[in-house]
Amino acid sequence: MIQFMLSRDRELPKLFSGLNKFGMPILPLAIASLVPAIVVLVFPNVTALAGLYAIGVVGAIGINLGTTSTNRKLPLRIFERRLMQLITLVMICIEATICQIKPEARGFALITLVLGLAARMISISLNRSVEIPMNRRTKYTAWAILAVISMILILGLKPSVAVFGRGSVSNFLDFIMAASVALALALISDRVQKREGIFTGFDEEHHEEHALGTAKRIRRKMLFAGSYNAKNRIMVATQGNPELMNYAIRECQAWEAELQLLYIRHVAVQALGPMIQISLNEDAAALKLFEQVKMDCESAGVPLRLLYGVSRDIPDAIVDFTVTHSADMLMLGVTRRGSMWTALKGDILMSIARNLPESVGLLIVGRTGRLGVAPPRGKSATISSSTN
């Protein structure tokens, strides 16, 4: 979703990048569900709804074509660039026509624009990675709130006036004032960003430096020794199944194996471009699980290796980590996904079983114990291959 990508680029508050267990952004998903419902209630007329749709689509196409055709870093031929610029000009004319004949759509677009710019300004003021005096943070937030209030007053959203009513929005002076507020807020937020030296978005010249700086600031220990030298490796892929973890620790003790705990953060959002990778330091659930398993392994004397990954394809990521870290056995819990998820996305366990190398054993553990075939215990205390 766009809000999630903007949050990852630090153009919106971090709250917009929170993910649920299905890998979907929580707050953007709620907004995407509630806002259309509210719009339909406010504008029950199909013609008005069509105006809102038209001004948004035409504006998005125009912005996309305009920014692409004027970007000299893109390898475009002169003919392609001129054609895109010509289409951009046509889109601008269409957008201006819609603004003239559809005042409701114009008011809706202006308020949406100001709300987005205000959220961007607040995100800049709340950015704790940059040292900004508290008085300036307060001032930036006040500007954003003032812009939203000014827009509401200009567009005449009062109890006595219909929402986006033609009585005030259609007034050309109101339109100029509202557009001026949006433009001023955009310029102020951009100037504030440059003044404070805040890096946002994906910039090829600064992205690598920013990533290295983040890595240098926080380095977590991911490998912990146990009371014995590991002869085998058992990988457990989970997001916090306590029965599975207790069983895995006992198996590691019995087989003198290293426990490789794999936490995959599922991101189901289709990236609209380069995205700053989600790190372990941002994932509170993973950190909590790692800390708990670390204490359990210390008390049991089991060697521990912590692994963290982010992927849109969970089975592929699990198989990749298993092969990369030379695990002798992969241990999984019974899936907790519902039948609807399985029907739409497929069975994760079956997908892993089909792609897992024959040299790696697969053990599926239910609430009452093993569901898969346990590998036979040889005299050499080596885990043999057993695929379920």
pLDDT band at residue 336, thresholds of 50, 70 and 90? low
Note the pLDDT tens digit of each residue in 11-22.
Answer: 677 788 888 777
What are the pLDDT digits (tens) for 274-307? 555 778 888 888 999 999 999 999 999 999 999 9
What domain range includes position 45?
2-214
Task: Assess whether pLDDT exceeds 70 at residue 102.
Answer: yes
Q: What is the mean pLDDT of residues 365-377?
A: 51
| Alpha carbon distance 331, 339 (integer Å) | 22
Say whether both 256 and 194 belong to one domain: no
pLDDT digits (tens, 9 = 90+) for 142-176: 998 998 888 888 876 543 333 444 444 446 777 78
pTM: predicted TM-score of the whole model, two decimal places: 0.66
Mean pLDDT across 342-355? 75
Query: Does 381 map to a domain?
Result: no
Q: Does residue 338 lie within any of the structural domains?
A: yes
- In this structure, the answer to whether residues 20 and 118 fall within a common structural domain is yes
Q: pLDDT band at 388, cuts 50/70/90? A: very low
Report pLDDT digits (tens) over 131-144: 778 888 888 889 98
Least confident of 16-25, 57-66, 253-262: 16-25
Q: How much is the pLDDT for 133?
A: 83
User: Are residue 104 and residue 178 in the same domain, yes or no?
Assistant: yes
Number of domains observed in the structure of the chain: 2
pLDDT at site 339 = 63
State mean pLDDT over 56-66.
92
pLDDT per residue as tens digits for the range 214-223: 444 567 889 9
314 lies in some domain? yes
Predicted local distance difference test score (pLDDT) of residue 329: 93
Q: In this structure, are 344 and 276 located in the same domain?
A: yes
The pLDDT of residue 256: 92
Q: How confident is the model at residue 344 (pLDDT cuts 50, 70, 90)?
A: low
Provide the CATH number for the domain around residue 287: 3.40.50.620
For residue 49, tell me if it sits in a domain.
Answer: yes
What pLDDT score was predicted for residue 154? 80
